[in-house]
């Protein structure tokens, strides 16, 4: 009996780790990708949309690509050229887009999919939560059509863009607050786990040795991404965003804890912090499954297996 696929919408700001997350998603027989939507984050919305289109062309993902919001709900954009380069996806050459972006916005496309799909859809945001929050604010009636949100963002123990805040949440804390307050089931792949989701240089070589076009590009992405992290003393590249996909396709390699998570939208030092109530002090029901650990070797093996999927496609 064939396993029923999980219908998903991939929403991100690619970004090397978003790109690798989407490579993993396309390779998984468990996921049915209904759309790809871009968000302002690692780079401007024009650049992240173009990158999303090029990733789809590379991996043969024939689905609609829709441009999301150009600005956070509140405040100015924050971009990360020091991490991902001026293009947002520097490194290997990529194919040009196979088709233009959808004429409708990401919010409109997401709403139409949720309205018409026969079962609830899982959202997989790996950038700031701007699009997801805008969708919930514009279409509260569609909340029940969202099965869960498997996101990369935050960290209940530390930040990376400030001491308290992780980049995706800091870009748009108000959006994150809307999402975490929504009542929709959340799986949170934050820095607590993604800083352990390290792909080592020897893993880069394993992926490269697979020997197809996609595996070569993924290895090059990892080399570029590691260049930034190596200077900071990391032994490998933390492939943050792919953990949000792994949570759907290989949850057994992860350790999760249910807890209440609040988002700080104010504060001189803590804006964008995700506060995890480890001890239940607030007396509030858990609103997220927070991933705290990962089987690193199994994660690396999963990415190698995903690269091998594209070998069959080239044959």
CA 54 to chain centre: 17
Q: Which two tokens stand for residue 186?
A: 């959340």
d(CA 121, CA 130): 18
Query: Is-contact 151 126, C-beta < 8 A?
Result: yes
| Cα–Cα–Cα angle for 190, 196, 197, rounded to 5 degrees | 85
Task: Please say whether the beta carbons of 89 and 19 come within 8 A.
Answer: yes
Catalytic option among 16, 84, 102, 240: 240
- Angle, alpha carbons 306-106-98 (nearest 5°): 55
Q: What is the DSSP string of 253-273?
A: GEEEEEE-EEE----TTTTTB
User: Hey, what's the torsion of the CAs at 23, 245, 8, 105, to 10 degrees?
Assistant: -70
240 given a catalytic annotation: yes
* Residues taking part in catalysis: 240
């Amino acid at each position: 009996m064939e396993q029923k696929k999980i219908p998903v919408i991939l929403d991100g700001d690619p970004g090397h780790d978003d790109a690798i997350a989407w490579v993993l998603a396309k390779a998984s027989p468990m996921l049915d990708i209904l759309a790809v939507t871009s968000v302002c984050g690692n780079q401007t919305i024009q650049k992240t949309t173009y990158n999303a289109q090029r990733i789809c062309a590379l991996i043969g993902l024939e689905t609609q690509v829709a441009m999301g919001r150009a600005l956070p709900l509140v405040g100015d954009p924050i971009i990360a050229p020091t991490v991902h380069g001026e293009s947002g996806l520097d490194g290997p050459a990529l194919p040009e887009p196979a088709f233009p972006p959808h004429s409708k916005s990401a919010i409109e496309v997401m709403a139409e999919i949720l309205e018409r799909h026969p079962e609830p859809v899982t959202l997989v945001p790996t950038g700031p939560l701007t699009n997801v929050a805008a969708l919930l604010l514009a279409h509260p009636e569609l909340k029940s059509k969202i099965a869960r949100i498997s996101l990369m963002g935050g960290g209940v123990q530390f930040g990376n863009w400030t001491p308290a805040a992780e980049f995706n949440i800091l870009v748009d804390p108000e959006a994150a607050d809307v999402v975490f307050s929504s009542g929709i089931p959340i799986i949170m792949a934050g820095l607590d786990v993604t800083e352990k989701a390290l792909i080592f240089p020897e893993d880069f070589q394993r992926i490269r040795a697979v020997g197809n076009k996609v595996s070569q590009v993924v290895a090059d992405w990892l080399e570029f991404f590691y260049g930034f992290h190596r200077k900071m003393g990391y032994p490998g590249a933390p492939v943050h965003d792919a953990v949000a996909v792994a949570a759907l396709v290989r949850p057994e390699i992860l350790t999760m804890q249910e807890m209440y998570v609040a988002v700080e939208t104010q504060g001189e030092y803590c804006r964008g912090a995700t506060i995890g109530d480890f001890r239940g002090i607030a007396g509030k029901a858990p609103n997220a499954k927070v991933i705290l650990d990962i089987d690193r070797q199994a994660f690396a093996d999963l990415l190698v297996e995903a690269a091998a999927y594209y070998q069959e496609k080239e044959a």
